[in-house]
Structure 1
């Protein structure tokens, strides 16, 4: 068994007693965390940019009354808050964590 280190992208390697070499990184989640944080930032900017204008759009351009506009906005908010539960079920049962993040990121970008 031996362990070696370097300053390159593959920071460390480990060789077991069978001669198999395993590489691992010093900070493996840095790129993934930055991607997820950027994704969350874009999602929050879209949400807070859309919500103040949604009621105005429904009332003035679509001529929906106050009760109808509030109903649409409440339904929209409910869908937004239920979607993470749906994605959690998909992640846990079908796709797995990283593939689910990648798939829903492509949905967000579309």
Structure 2
């Protein structure tokens, strides 16, 4: 009887499995141990996204030689794509990969896009040639920049629909203490999103 109670307190009771498809051990996985990383990652992701997107119209207008209307249109198309791709990420997470592997895969895509965007703004040859205020981007440089931006949009699509529910998965609903912690997690989740956006 005591052994059964120990087993009940050792493993989650809601049927949650770990990454190896075994019952999740409460002492080793989940709760705030995992959520610290989830919250930190979300804060950094929002910081990167808003830090880059707020300056995007000016960058495209000045460095890629587009007019204000074309630059604004390009940014709104990109932002719309960022908010449409979560449909793809949610489908892949629910039907095939699960939240963990969807997040892990799309974070790689997101980081690749951010890396390419950084290269497009800093590496000679990928950066448009500027003479004072006057910049002339080649078609290749413009295409490289937009490739980077749309990789970021795709990466966002895999992260955005999964990360909050993945954080909630770290808590066992059958445990009263963890159930209360889950509510607290969502407060912290919203807080770190806004901290990341504010710093950006």
Structure 1-normalised TM-score?
Answer: 0.72
Alignment of 1:4-83 (within 5 A): 4=6, 12=10, 24-26=25-27, 28-83=30-85
Residue 23 of structure 1 deviates from its aligned partner by 7.4
Q: 1:84 to 1:29 in 2, by over 3 A?
A: farther
Q: Which runs of 5+ in 2 are unaligned?
A: 12-22, 113-200
Tell me: higher relative CO, structure 1 or 2? Use CA pairs within 8 A at least 6 residues apart.
2
Residue 69 of structure 1 deviates from its aligned partner by 0.7
Residue 34 of structure 1 deviates from its aligned partner by 2.0
Residue 4 of structure 1 deviates from its aligned partner by 3.4
Total equivalences in the alignment: 97
Q: 1:23 to 1:107 in 2, by over 3 A?
A: closer
State the Cα RMSD in Å: 2.4
The structure 1 segments of at least 4 consecutive aligned residues displaced by more than 4 Å after TM superposition are: none
Structure 2-normalised TM-score?
Answer: 0.42
1:15-72: CA deviation from partner (whole Å, max 9, x where unpaired): xxxxxxx773257232332222222111111122112221111111111111101110
Q: Which runs of 5+ in 1 are unaligned?
A: 6-10, 14-21
Q: Say which one has the larger Rg.
A: 1
Higher share of residues assigned helix: 2
